[in-house]
Amino acid sequence: MEQMGGSMGGADRPKGVGPLIPPLTETQRPLRQQIFERIRAAGLIPRVTLARELGVSPASVTTICAELIEAGLIEEVSAPRDVETARGRPAVALGVRAAAHLVAGMKLSDREHTAVIVDFAGNLIADEAVARQPGPMTLEALLDAISTLLARVCAKAGVAPQALTAIGIGVPGFVDVALGMVHWSSVLHDRAVPLAAAASARIGVPVTIDNDANLVALAELWFGAGRGLSDFAVVTIEHGVGMGFVMNHRIFRGSGRMGMELGHTKVQLDGALCRCGQRGCLEAYVADYALAREATTALNRPTTDTLSINALLESLYDHAKAGNATARSIFRRAGRYLAVGLSNVVNLFDPELIILSGERMRYDYLYAAETLAEMDNLAIQTGRPRPPIEIHAWGDLLWAHGAAALALSVVSENLLATSRDIAA
């Protein structure tokens, strides 16, 4: 198991963004889209390499690339010396025209809202974070928070909000990305809220929304460890428990676009009350409010205590590290329930990789050797090693990067759909 952390931006980011799809493995998508996505993923790539990897004629690639250049989506760039033609001459490579569009990505959560602005090539331009008081908000209050955060991050980037082509927003809960509807979220008082339309009307820029765990998976797919993987799972553990799943290099959401709710799979009949309103959900035993509920009893704190959940959990963790048996047992119990959830992911999907992400991953009891051993015991025994597990302790900006990737994906697909595809 590998533990990782850091920032998605900066010089250490992989060249190019988006999934690195192996050559000749995807032929169902329009050729125009395949060419553009391969250019975006490579960062810089010569036409001859595009033709070879896609298995099409150089003439077809040249024709489509000329059209994409005319549309202002890609541009010719003098390639580095290590990118050369077969004859050894310096190649003229193709790259995404970074200045063509700007998009914003935002993550709305129970305790902090974060935002980033990236250009069309996926380069980070600016980021911002705003703390908030925990608890659900009215739609108007949430729209005010979105507008305020957007104004601040745009000011850092030196652009007006109306200069953005699109905005992606991630929220916890049950979200229908196609309808732009939040059926339930811990950040909203009401259910069935048309958040995408409301936010777009307030800001004057097209808005796409999605479940925040899906956006962590999208961030890994575009910027992180999932770029070269066909199938992988991201399990997020912080204010709640979420899951995003990538299948064949694409986010899988289910027929109703609200699948992969690992946190709301049932692990105990008539069990603990979950914030979704049901009982026995995995989240009700692993998420921060579940640990805080147990910590209040373990640390003998009064029910009227005003200590924040974060402070309470830090105290519980300190007690566990100091050898307090009760505190250790709380994390151990949460780890056992997490093992049940992870083994179900393995048994159902058999992913290439499972990434554990989120603020709570700093509590190593949740992924201790005992937890992983229990997960192995619960998973189907095939004689082959289980999928590797990596710990990615990125901050909330990772989620916002995923929202930006969602916006970039929507923008590029809409732009490419406006022009006819040329057959190879």
Q: Which residues are CB-contacts of 84 (< 8 A; sequence separation ≥ 6)? A: 90, 91
**Residue 181 tokens, joined:** 């509807």
Instruction: Report the sign of the C-alpha dihedral through residues 83, 49, 58, 60, in that order.
Output: negative
User: Which run of H or E residues covers position 412?
Assistant: helix 397-417
CB 237 within 8 A of CB 331: no
Condensed to tens digits (0 to 9), the pLDDT of residues 105-143 reads 999 988 889 999 999 999 999 999 998 888 899 999 999
Give the residue with greater pLDDT, 256 vs 49.
Answer: 49
User: Which run of H or E residues covers position 243?
Assistant: strand 241-247
Q: Which CATH number fits domain 101-217+398-415: 3.40.50.1110, 3.30.420.40, 2.60.120.620, 1.10.274.50?
A: 3.30.420.40
pLDDT over 50 (residue 6): no
| Confidence bin at 1 (pLDDT 50/70/90) | low
Task: State residue 23's pLDDT score.
Answer: 75
**Residue 140 tokens, joined:** 């108007």
Task: State residue 30's pLDDT score.
Answer: 86
pLDDT over 90 (residue 39): yes
Segment among 160-169, 190-199, 212-221, 377-386 with least mean pLDDT? 377-386
Condensed to tens digits (0 to 9), the pLDDT of residues 238-270 reads 788 999 999 999 999 988 887 889 999 999 999
Q: Provide the b/e sequence for 163-176 (b: ≥16 CB within 10 Å).
A: ebbbbbbbbbbbbb
Is-same-fold flag (2-99; 228-394)?
Answer: no
The CATH number of 228-394 is 3.30.420.40
Condensed to tens digits (0 to 9), the pLDDT of residues 283-304 reads 999 988 888 888 887 777 766 5
Instruction: Spell out the domain ranges in the chain.
Output: 2-99, 101-217+398-415, 228-394
Any idea which residue has 């640390």 for tokens?
A: 299
| Confidence bin at 9 (pLDDT 50/70/90) | very low
| 256 DSSP 8-state letter | T
Mean of the per-residue pLDDT values for the chain? Answer: 87
pLDDT over 60 (residue 88): no
pLDDT over 50 (residue 7): no
pLDDT over 90 (residue 180): yes
Class of 2-99 per CATH?
Answer: mainly alpha
Give the residue with greater pLDDT, 33 vs 13.
Answer: 33
Task: State residue 13's pLDDT score.
Answer: 38
